[in-house]
Amino acid sequence: MKQYRLRPFVLPSIYILAIATIIFSIVLIGQQIRNFQNNQDLEYVVGAIVDDATPVTEEKKEVKVIKPFTSEKVTILRDFYEKDAAEEKQKNSLIYFENTYMQNSGILYKSDEVFDVIAVMDGVVSNIKEDKLLGMVIEIDHNTKLKTIYQSLGDIKVTVGQAVKQGDVIGVSGANSINKESEFQLLFEVSHNGKLINPINFFGTDIKTYEE
């Protein structure tokens, strides 16, 4: 039987090829290990940045309390009564009704024409009612300590439980039975911590002052 033998150069070639394959495999494995380590380092760095990052909060802008109307034709008919006010102011804060002088608990506004009544701050309409003397009344809660009351309205644009934004029209001016000097009036009151305060000192202040 004829026997076949490898040529002399075949064995060295196989040996070299095997060595080259082993070296290539080692290099490839080493590269993969380095890539894995680099990825791990990257994840660690990114994680460290995220963990150490301080959340950036946008500073709240100052928002001021506005008046309950926008018309420039609205004027004050009766002032808010304060015992320490000047005599002239006190006289203008008394309401005469059925042979009795009453201290005005808000500011009574008037105009020669109907005007929109707006919410002075964000809030929720907590009550709507009709008063025999003061006409239609809307109460808006701004928090548990602050409430605004809009009285002598001729028409209502909101409902109880409705959330309103500052400047939203909630009604229009109307009349009342206490003061008949104008058909277009608004009696506006502010209750803070259960006490009625002068709206004049309320307007233009930062809303944050009244946050709970």
- pLDDT tens for the chain, 212 residues: list them: 544 444 454 455 555 555 656 665 665 555 665 665 555 554 544 454 445 555 555 566 889 999 999 999 999 999 999 988 899 989 999 988 888 888 999 999 999 999 999 999 999 999 999 999 999 999 999 999 999 999 999 999 999 999 999 999 999 999 998 888 888 999 999 999 999 999 999 999 999 988 87
Q: Rounded distance, CA 114 to CA 73, Å?
A: 10
Instruction: Find, among 144, 145, 139, 125, the residue nearest to 187 by Cα.
Output: 139
What token pair was written down for 88? 């002239």
Question: Which pLDDT does position 92 carry in this prediction?
Answer: 92
Pairing of strands 169-173, 123-131: unpaired
Question: Which pLDDT does position 4 carry in this prediction?
Answer: 44
Bridge partners (DSSP) listed for residue 197: 190
Question: Which pLDDT does position 12 carry in this prediction?
Answer: 53
Question: Which pLDDT does position 81 carry in this prediction?
Answer: 94
Question: Which pLDDT does position 211 carry in this prediction?
Answer: 82
Answer whether 151's CB lies under 8 Å from 131's CB: yes
CA distances from 212 to 64, 76, 144, 204 (A): 16, 31, 8, 19
